[in-house]
Amino acid sequence: MKIRRTKVHGRDAVYHCMSRVVNGERLFQDREKEMLRKMIWQVADFCGVEVLTYCVMSNHFHVLLRVPDGQRVDDAELMRRYRVLYPKPTKYQAGSVKVLTSQLEADSEEAQQLRAKLLARMGDVSEYMKAVKQRFSVWFNRNHKRYGTLWADRFKSVLVEGHGNPLQTMAAYIDLNPVRAGIVEDPKDYRFCGYAEAVVGVKAAQAGLVHVWSDHGAKQVQSALQAHRLLIFGKHAAGAGLSDMTRERALKVLDEEDGQLPKSVMLRCRVRYFTDGAILGSAEFVHGFTGAWQRERGRKYPPKVNPMRGSDWGDLAVIQGLRRQVFG
């Protein structure tokens, strides 16, 4: 099924991407999660994109991805990235690297075609997700003696305003996946998410979290970790437990009483705005993409900008209003 997605050109962009296993089967144990975790980082290095946070679950994964605009990649960097994607080359592949390097140095027509082919796989959200999913599928099928498709359809994506409250709220929602699933009470105890990696000192994960909170004045890792934890746990940030309100009670307040809940409580519910909202940010940010969204889908009229309900989201809005079953 063709999924139309809004892409940004001419400036940096942030996307929340998600892909689910076919039929929702829970196929990933710790070994599979670890391999997918490694590939998420590995392919990001090759593609020249930045993983701000991520979460790998038993039947799907999320990644919050920053795609820089207009990267300049010289031939030395091009070959470094190529080696990143093939860290343990065979003898044949090692020879190929030497051949590729020689071709690029010669700057022939063949070299220009090679350069263009490699660069086309970089700096693009679709190419990144394609590479992650294809490489993991090959590994998974080979190791489990299976064949056929592993992933259901194409990946979902939400264009996210790349700073401040929209970015911070989306990052927290992604890191809280294992809490919503009842696996842990604190995401720092689930090692297959960006927040947990940042807590234990993984530099790339820490850099992503610092970027998320840079507008908040968090230039250092500890400041970013504290700010993220405060958003995740609200006034209970010092402790690891959930809010006193149960998830069932929270949903009753939202659906039956049409009420509002604290953001830290809402983030423990499944909120489809974060996965199906198409474009998420301030009302001004979302409104700026209504024309592009309309053209991409061939709609007669531009879409409405819908404020997010259910909590004090701080002016967050989406294009897809999702009037039914927003919360779960």
Cα distance between residue 59 and residue 20, in whole Å: 6
pLDDT of 9 reads 75
Q: Check whether residue 86 and residue 188 sit in a common domain.
A: no
Which strand ranges, in their side-by-side order, compose the sheet holding 316-318? 50-56, 60-67, 13-20, 156-160, 279-282, 316-318, 306-307
* Enclosing domain of residue 101: 75-119
Let me know whether 112 and 196 are in one domain: no
168 with 207, same domain: the answer is yes
Q: Is the residue at 5 inside a domain?
A: no
Give the pLDDT of residue 235: 65
Q: Is residue 326 part of a domain?
A: no
Q: Are residues 59 and 35 in the same domain?
A: yes
Residue 7 lies in a domain: no
pLDDT at 299: 84
243 assigned to some structural domain: yes
pTM over 0.85: yes
Crossing angle of the two packed helices 221-233 and 164-175, in degrees rounded to 10: 70
Domain boundary among 119, 152, 180: 119
Same domain for 85 and 203? no
Supply the pLDDT for residue 99: 78
* Same domain, residue pair 144 and 110: no
Question: Same domain for 18 and 79?
Answer: no
Longest Cα separation, the chain? 70
Q: Which of 119, 152, 183 is the last residue of a domain?
A: 119
Residues 206 and 294 in one domain: yes
Residue 328 lies in a domain: no
Report the CATH number that the domain containing residue 207 is assigned in CATH.
3.30.70.1290
Check whether residue 86 and residue 63 sit in a common domain: no
pLDDT digits (tens), the chain, 328 positions: 455 677 787 789 999 999 999 999 999 999 999 999 999 999 999 999 999 999 999 999 999 999 998 788 999 999 899 989 887 766 656 567 777 888 888 888 888 888 898 999 999 999 999 999 999 999 999 999 999 999 998 899 999 999 999 999 999 999 999 999 999 999 999 999 999 999 999 999 999 999 999 987 777 999 999 999 999 998 654 444 444 556 667 667 666 556 678 888 889 889 999 999 999 999 999 999 998 888 888 888 888 999 998 888 999 999 976 766 777 6
Whether 61 and 187 map to the same domain: the answer is yes
Determine, yes or no, domain membership for 240. Answer: yes
Question: Which pLDDT does position 188 carry in this prediction?
Answer: 97
- What does the pLDDT read at residue 257? 55
Is residue 192 situated within a structural domain? yes
User: What pLDDT does 90 receive?
Assistant: 63
Is residue 37 domain-shared with residue 146, that is, in the same domain?
Answer: yes
Q: What pLDDT was estimated at residue 125?
A: 96
Contact by Cβ (8 Å): 68, 11: no
* Distance of alpha carbon 184 from alpha carbon 207, whole angstroms: 24
Q: Which of 62, 94, 119 is the last residue of a domain?
A: 119
**Per the structure block, which two tokens stand in for 313?**
């989201």
Residues 19 and 90 in one domain: no
Tokens 């809004």, residue located = 6
4 within domain boundaries:
no
Write out the DSSP string of 209-261. HHHHTGGGT--SHHHHHHHHHHHHHGGGTTS-SPPSS-HHHHHHHHHTS---B
Write down the pLDDT at residue 130: 96
Both tokens assigned to 94: 């090692």
Specify the number of domains making up the chain: 2
